[in-house]
Structure 1
Amino acid sequence: MKGFKNARVYVYGKGIISSDVAVENGKIVKIGNDLDIDQAYSFNGIVVPGFVDRHIHGAGGADGMDGDVEKIKTIADSIVKEGTTSFLVTTMTQSEENILKALNAVKNYTRISGARVQGVHLEGPFIAEKYKGAQPLEFIKKPDKRLMDRFIKASGNKIKVVTLAPEQENAKELIEFLAENKIVASIGHTQSDFDTVEKALSWGASSITHTYNAQTPLHHREAGVVGAGLILDELYNELICDLIHVCKEAVKILVKNKPKDKLILITDSMRAKHLPDGESELGGQKVIVKDGQARLLDGTLAGSVLKMNVAVKNMVEKVGVDFCTAIDYATANSARSIGIFDSVGSIDVGKNADFAILDDDFNILGTIIDGEVVYKR
């Protein structure tokens, strides 16, 4: 049996313990001391669950909108370097043809190596023009159940999250349709007021996309989407913790207000991640990457080049969140929000043997998926 011997292991609900972890047939089979492990992993770091990124557009020069299974593999192979073992291929507002092409690629994708694809995050096209961010204006559409049904079928029923603007005409019907199909309706790229967010929650919406970004801000006369996210405990809140999209103080406000199990770290990264600074592309738009920032030519932030281990590090070292809670933000909370916590998101008997091994400076020493080492520094 393979596994970890006398390792520092973060076990959900118990904290960091000294323990063995036994792995067999890609699953965690035992956690304890003096286990019969004859093939020990040769890592000396803190063992945590593999990270789960539910909002990532691309990495390594590839993007989910490329509509190519090989490009999905490139993303999967790139992000294991940051400890991510599960992710949602994230689309963006584009032509129906291009979105369908991207969804078909996910349907036809079979994992060979790298992080596992857990489904799709459909970001747009049902969003608000005013808060489009880096989403192309010409492809924005009103909520449409029939179009959504075509998207679901094209993906092979793999859509897990849909980002939409609930103030739009027919949004109620679409959110209810998504809830019926066990798809997360996430409020984002929206000019909704607080009352509309409350209504969306009653219709079945359950999360807010990249909190603070591309949504109505908190104001003392209208709390907006941000205010709703801060005080409606039922909602999950995504967060891009690169300290560029959201400042440290705003992150602290979110952390202080949200239940610990409702904040989700995402990268929202684009194809330039894991590549040198320079010119890149997002949805046919030129992007300039410099000093850790990805921006359109007009200065609009165009996703990020954030790595998940860096997001966790920022949470601990800059924001002051304890280590275990920060790990939960990147693992258990994300997995639970999209209904896959039964198999990933924590180190527990019966779950997939997916691990990230961190040194004391949050560098990734190794990544393991289904018990197999897929990355070693």
Structure 2
Amino acid sequence: MEGGRIADVVPIADREDLPWLAPGLVDLQVNGFAGIDFNALPPETRSIGSAVRMLLRQGVTTFLPTVITNSDEAIEQLLASIASACAEDELVRACVAGIHLEGPFLSPADGSRGAHDRKHIRAPDWESFRRWQRAADGRILILTMSPEWENSARFISRCVSEGVIVSIGHTAATPGQIREAAAAGASMSTHLGNGAQLQLPRHPNYIWEQLAADELTACVIPDGFHLPDSVLKVFLRAKAGRIAFVSDAVSLSGLAPGAYRTPVGGDVVLTPEGRLHLASDPQLLAGSAQMLIDGIAGVVGRGLCTLAEAWELGSAAPAAAAGLTGVGRIEPGSAADLVRFRRLPDPRISDGGEARLTIEEVYKAGKLVFRREDELDQKTMAPSGSS
């Protein structure tokens, strides 16, 4: 590694007992982590730096903090806070590749809108979006919207012309509207298969239409709860080469099971198994409480992907979908964002299959930012009664 980048990759003959080395994970949808909520008001700029440092311990070296549906003023405040954190903190600036704005131009239909507050959902408005982009200091990289609104195609083309990636999500759009959106420049699907009504026509419907659209990269949540394994398996086949993993992690990720109240989703329940749902309707999920590395370990453990395939879906694939160059790959010239880890037997799996991935070191731009041994040493040396 030289100057924060990979200078060379040299093969070695003896690989026995060596740990795995992989590119840093690239997560395009992170709502929060470990009690820090990117949608909490009033926004705390310093907390974003804390979240970045904790996410690095999870192997996430590049990510998009996600701001979801809220009032115009709240969205502006939250975006400005993230922009301020990037301006003030070099590490935040290096890790935050942009902002994902999920809403408020979504479907108002129950099921499709998921946990988004219906009172703030509305039709696309260019002046509002431009105001938010100014507040974000131009950092809005992905906009999730539903193309079911009138004049959506024109709005999408304007966003794309200014370098914003439009992703279809939380939609009740007709197949024709999906095709029009793709023709106008929409290039992604946000957590495909979720943010949808519980019952749909068998065909046509907006999930099949997005699967069939070669222009759209399908982002999916591999946590084992958002999509049944059979559905994820079909998605992986149908969208081979145009599919990527995202966590959709919320602030409750990394916290103990229980009942919680969140700023946007309201009352939610985190089960011991790690499933997060609305307290008012257990059938409706409220984001994910698992990190990207957990999803990768899960799909590998359940035989849906090889480790190399799954990791690429959490690194190179999302980087490509978001147009991020120089990250997500181990090759000369790429950023030296690296994760060193081992595969260990997971005690939760009865047959002892290797599914648990234990991170040992994380590098950002060639600098060591986390070492598991150091963390264990700190815990060992902690005074009695402390955690």
Q: Report the TM-score range of the alignment, normalised by the length of the smaller protein.
A: 0.7 to 0.9
Query: Could you tell me how far 1:367 is from its partner in structure 2?
Result: 1.3
Query: Could you tell me how far 1:327 is from its partner in structure 2?
Result: 1.4
* Contact 1:217–1:227, Cα closer than 8 Å, also in 2: no
Letter in 2 for 1:88: L
- Answering whether residue 241 of structure 2 is matched by residue 265 of structure 1, we say no
* Residues 332 and 313 of structure 1: CA distance in aligned 2, closer, same or farther (over 3 Å): same
> Match for residue 37 of structure 1?
none
| 110-119 or 175-184, which deviates more | 110-119
- Answering whether residue 341 of structure 2 is matched by residue 358 of structure 1, we say yes
* Residue 74 (structure 2) aligned to one of 98, 123, 136: 98
* Contact 1:142–1:170, Cα closer than 8 Å, also in 2: no
Q: TM-score, normalised by structure 1?
A: 0.87
* Contact 1:252–1:319, Cα closer than 8 Å, also in 2: no
> Match for residue 285 of structure 2?
301
Letter in 2 for 1:365: E
* Contact 1:217–1:223, Cα closer than 8 Å, also in 2: no
Identity %: 26
Structure 2 Cα separation of the partners of residues 76 and 190 of structure 1:
30
Letter in 2 for 1:186: S
Letter in 2 for 1:119: G
* Residues 188 and 317 of structure 1: CA distance in aligned 2, closer, same or farther (over 3 Å): same
> Match for residue 109 of structure 1?
85
- Answering whether residue 127 of structure 2 is matched by residue 146 of structure 1, we say yes
- Answering whether residue 98 of structure 2 is matched by residue 124 of structure 1, we say no
> Secondary structure, in 3 states, of the residue corresponding to 1:315?
helix
Structure 1 Cα separation of the partners of residues 226 and 21 of structure 2:
29
* Contact 1:46–1:359, Cα closer than 8 Å, also in 2: yes
- Answering whether residue 55 of structure 2 is matched by residue 79 of structure 1, we say yes
Structure 2 Cα separation of the partners of residues 287 and 75 of structure 1:
21
> Match for residue 214 of structure 1?
195
Structure 2 Cα separation of the partners of residues 94 and 176 of structure 1:
24
> Match for residue 283 of structure 1?
263
- CA offsets 1:97-126 (integer angstroms, 9 cap, x no match): 111011101211133547711110000000
* Contact 2:182–2:213, Cα closer than 8 Å, also in 1: no
* Contact 1:315–1:326, Cα closer than 8 Å, also in 2: yes
> Match for residue 21 of structure 2?
47
Q: How does 1:173-188 map to 2 (within 5 A)?
A: 173-188=154-169
Structure 2 Cα separation of the partners of residues 199 and 172 of structure 1:
6
* Contact 1:287–1:297, Cα closer than 8 Å, also in 2: yes
Structure 2 Cα separation of the partners of residues 29 and 107 of structure 1:
31
* Contact 2:168–2:186, Cα closer than 8 Å, also in 1: yes
Letter in 2 for 1:185: V
Query: Could you tell me how far 1:135 is from its partner in structure 2?
Result: 0.6
- CA offsets 1:151-210 (integer angstroms, 9 cap, x no match): 111101101110101011231221111110111110001001222111110011011110
> Secondary structure, in 3 states, of the residue corresponding to 2:218?
strand
Aligned CA-pair RMSD: 1.9
- CA offsets 1:30-86 (integer angstroms, 9 cap, x no match): 21258xxxxxxxx94110100000011000111112332212112212222221101
Letter in 2 for 1:32: V
> Match for residue 89 of structure 1?
65
Structure 2 Cα separation of the partners of residues 208 and 215 of structure 1:
12
Alignment: residue pair count? 345
| 366-375 or 117-126, which deviates more | 366-375
Letter in 2 for 1:82: Q
* Contact 1:135–1:283, Cα closer than 8 Å, also in 2: no
- Answering whether residue 1 of structure 2 is matched by residue 27 of structure 1, we say no
| 267-276 or 59-68, which deviates more | 59-68
| 220-229 or 327-336, which deviates more | 220-229
| 200-209 or 62-71, which deviates more | 62-71
Gaps of 5+ in 1: 1-22, 35-42
> Secondary structure, in 3 states, of the residue corresponding to 2:6?
strand
